């Protein structure tokens, strides 16, 4: 037997406006501009720039933004009981652009299109050109085909109705290997390097390099140089020349194309910090705080409906539409202002916390600082601080810096002073850069040197920091 009962439940749920505000806070300046353009395009009641002074003068105080409110025009007066607008019958906790994909900042021809255009210089029959296009479409942004040929053959049959075999596909793939950038279409690093080496002018060094990559790639990656010298019966100088040829190669041929398309792109900082009379001055990028206002034309249109005695159906629809757009415009302006205030408040707290660094530029003056420190200082949620710090930059007297880079854990040195892990990583990097590359330092040796400098950290911590600064293990740092 079914039983019914009534249960009260209290839960917290973000409103759509709160979700949108969090998204606005997270946006860096370039993406904010795109968001503004989209909002202005979609909402005719929202305008940018300064309001026209003549329009402001002509409008009486009855028509200003403060007086045009919900009390002046009651939308319900224009609706019968059956004419409830759709927007009042719907509720959700997500925004319309939740699934919106990131729009690339750089426009132009894609990497795959660039490769496809080169296929026009070869003679293919109708079936082969479709296979070639399919293979090019399978190349990722680093320039590799990561899937097995058998899987590609199956996909050609199931998705395109092209029945072929591995040998035929591999033959077409070898043609793709002739295209630019050199190494494109390779299935692994070894094949990528071989393709590039075979495009070079033949010499003793290149021939040795091809032999090493083709037949001794495993011991080469492990830097067992003496074994290679014995197997190839070459001198150490010959090996050095061969290794130099290999080091000139590009392990990610697709990345070269991606970087070349971004030459004109640059980081636009969200904040600027200047030192004026030995004091720090923080400003928000002016592009980050555009002037927005509600359209006077739309406010006048809404005010005009006050004098309407009997509204028609079209007038009812117009009132609902105008009211929605005006509300959305007001909310968006408030959200942008609140966003800018949050950004300035957060960055000022970070600047004050790291005041010694910003005044001197000495990274050793960076204090240990975590998100919680700033959140408690300005009484905001940690997630808000994270949104501000994760994707925004500040133009300081010492260059453009990612705000997130100022956050770090801290440890106590041998003098009992708490220091930032940023300082330790910098010391570690200097030690590695100045080591003897023919006999690179092991993690154990690095630990002893760091400890001597006054930083009592364990070997596993040294290994973690070494990986974070992008330095491989000693064996892979070895050079002839």
Residue 106 has pLDDT above 80, yes or no: no
How much is the pLDDT for 56?
42
Q: Which of 47-56, 334-343, 382-391 has the lowest mean pLDDT?
A: 47-56
How much is the pLDDT for 123?
85
Residue pair 39/333 in contact (Cβ under 8 Å)? The answer is no
Q: Give the mean model confidence (pLDDT) for residues 30-59.
A: 70
CA-based torsion, 260, 246, 207, 115: positive or negative: negative
How much is the pLDDT for 239?
92
Residue 125 has pLDDT above 50, yes or no: yes
Q: Looking at domain 410-477, does it have CATH number 1.10.10.60?
A: yes
How much is the pLDDT for 300?
73
Residue 77 has pLDDT above 70, yes or no: no
First to last CA, the chain: 83
Q: Length of the chain in residues, anyone?
A: 480
Q: Which residue has the higher pLDDT, 312 or 476?
A: 476
How much is the pLDDT for 208?
93
pLDDT band at 417 (very low <50, low <70, confident <90, very high): confident
The whole-angstrom separation of Cα 407 and Cα 421 is 9
Q: Which of 35-49, 255-269, 397-411, 432-446 has the lowest mean pLDDT?
A: 255-269
Domain ranges in the chain are 16-91+291-325, 111-259, 271-287+328-406, 410-477
Q: Give the mean model confidence (pLDDT) for residues 387-409.
A: 87
Q: Give the mean model confidence (pLDDT) for residues 338-357.
A: 92
Q: Give the mean model confidence (pLDDT) for residues 257-270.
A: 60
pTM comes to 0.53
Write out the two tokens for 474. 């000693």
How much is the pLDDT for 30?
78
Nearest to 422 by CA among 438, 432, 411, 414: 411
Vertex 427, ends 421 and 429: CA angle to 5°? 100
Residue 317 has pLDDT above 50, yes or no: yes
Secondary structure (3-state) at 367: coil
CA-based torsion, 431, 393, 371, 355: positive or negative: positive
Residue pair 38/100 in contact (Cβ under 8 Å)? The answer is no
How much is the pLDDT for 71?
42
Residue pair 278/125 in contact (Cβ under 8 Å)? The answer is no
Q: Give the mean model confidence (pLDDT) for residues 278-304.
A: 77
Q: At what angle do helices 204-215 and 236-247 cross, to 10 degrees?
A: 80
How much is the pLDDT for 306?
57
Q: Give the mean model confidence (pLDDT) for residues 266-290.
A: 84
How much is the pLDDT for 289?
61
How much is the pLDDT for 258?
57
On average, the pLDDT of the chain sits at 79
Q: Which of 43-52, 94-103, 268-277 has the lowest mean pLDDT?
A: 94-103
Write out the two tokens for 100. 């919106």
Burial of 169 (0-12, 13-18, 19+ CB in 10 A): buried
Secondary structure (3-state) at 224: coil
Q: Give the mean model confidence (pLDDT) for residues 74-85.
A: 44
Burial of 123 (0-12, 13-18, 19+ CB in 10 A): exposed
How much is the pLDDT for 70?
44
| Structural element, H or E, at residue 401 | strand 399-402
Per residue in 441-458, pLDDT (tens digit) is: 999 999 999 898 888 888
How much is the pLDDT for 84?
42
Q: Which of 342-356, 366-380, 410-424 has the lowest mean pLDDT?
A: 410-424
Q: Which residue has the higher pLDDT, 38 or 414?
A: 38
How much is the pLDDT for 348?
94
The whole-angstrom separation of Cα 41 and Cα 200 is 53
Per residue in 146-177, pLDDT (tens digit) is: 989 999 999 888 888 889 999 999 999 999 99
């Amino acid at each position: 037997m079914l039983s019914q009962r009534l249960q009260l439940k209290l839960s917290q749920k973000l409103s759509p406006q709160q979700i949108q505000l969090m998204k606005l806070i997270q946006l860096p300046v370039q993406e904010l501009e795109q968001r503004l353009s989209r909002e202005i395009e979609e909402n005719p009641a929202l305008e940018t720039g300064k309001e026209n002074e003549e329009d402001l003068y002509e409008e009486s105080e009855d028509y200003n933004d403060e007086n045009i409110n919900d009390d002046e025009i009651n939308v319900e007066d224009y609706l019968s009981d059956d004419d409830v607008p759709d927007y009042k019958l719907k509720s959700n906790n997500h925004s319309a652009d939740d699934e919106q994909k990131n729009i690339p900042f750089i426009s132009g021809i894609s990497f795959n299109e660039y490769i496809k255009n080169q296929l026009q210089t070869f003679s293919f029959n109708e079936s082969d050109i479709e296979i070639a296009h399919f293979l090019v479409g399978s190349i990722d942004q680093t320039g590799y085909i990561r899937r097995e040929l058998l899987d590609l053959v199956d996909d050609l049959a199931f998705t395109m109705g092209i029945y072929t075999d591995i040998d035929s596909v591999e033959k077409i793939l070898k043609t793709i290997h002739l295209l630019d950038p050199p190494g494109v279409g390779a299935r692994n690093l070894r094949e990528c390097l071989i393709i590039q080496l075979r495009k070079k002018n033949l010499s003793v060094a290149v021939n040795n390099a091809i032999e090493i990559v083709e037949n001794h790639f495993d011991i080469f990656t492990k830097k067992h140089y003496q074994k290679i010298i014995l197997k190839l019966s070459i001198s150490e100088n010959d090996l050095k020349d061969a290794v130099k040829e290999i080091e000139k190669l590009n392990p990610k041929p697709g990345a070269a194309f991606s970087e070349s398309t971004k030459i004109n792109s640059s980081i636009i900082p969200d904040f600027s910090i200047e030192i004026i009379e030995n004091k720090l001055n923080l400003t928000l990028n002016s592009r980050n705080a555009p002037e927005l206002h509600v359209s006077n034309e739309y406010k006048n249109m809404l005010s005009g409906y006050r004098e309407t005695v009997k509204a028609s159906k079209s007038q009812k629809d117009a009132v609902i539409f105008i009211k929605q757009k005006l509300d959305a415009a007001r909310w968006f302006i408030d959200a942008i202002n609140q966003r800018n205030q949050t950004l300035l408040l957060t960055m000022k707290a970070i600047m004050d916390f790291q005041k010694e660094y910003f005044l001197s530029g000495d990274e050793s003056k960076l204090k240990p600082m975590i998100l919680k420190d700033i959140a408690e200082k300005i009484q905001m949620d940690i997630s808000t601080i994270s949104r501000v710090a994760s994707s925004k930059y500040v133009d300081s007297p010492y260059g453009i810096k990612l705000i997130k880079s100022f956050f770090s854990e801290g440890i106590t040195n041998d003098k009992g002073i708490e220091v930032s892990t940023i300082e330790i990583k910098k010391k570690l990097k200097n030690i590695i850069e100045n080591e003897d590359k023919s006999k690179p330092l092991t993690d154990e040796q690095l630990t002893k040197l760091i400890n001597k400098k006054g930083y009592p950290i364990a070997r596993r911590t040294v290994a973690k920091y070494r990986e974070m600064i992008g330095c491989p293990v000693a064996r892979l740092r070895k050079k002839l």
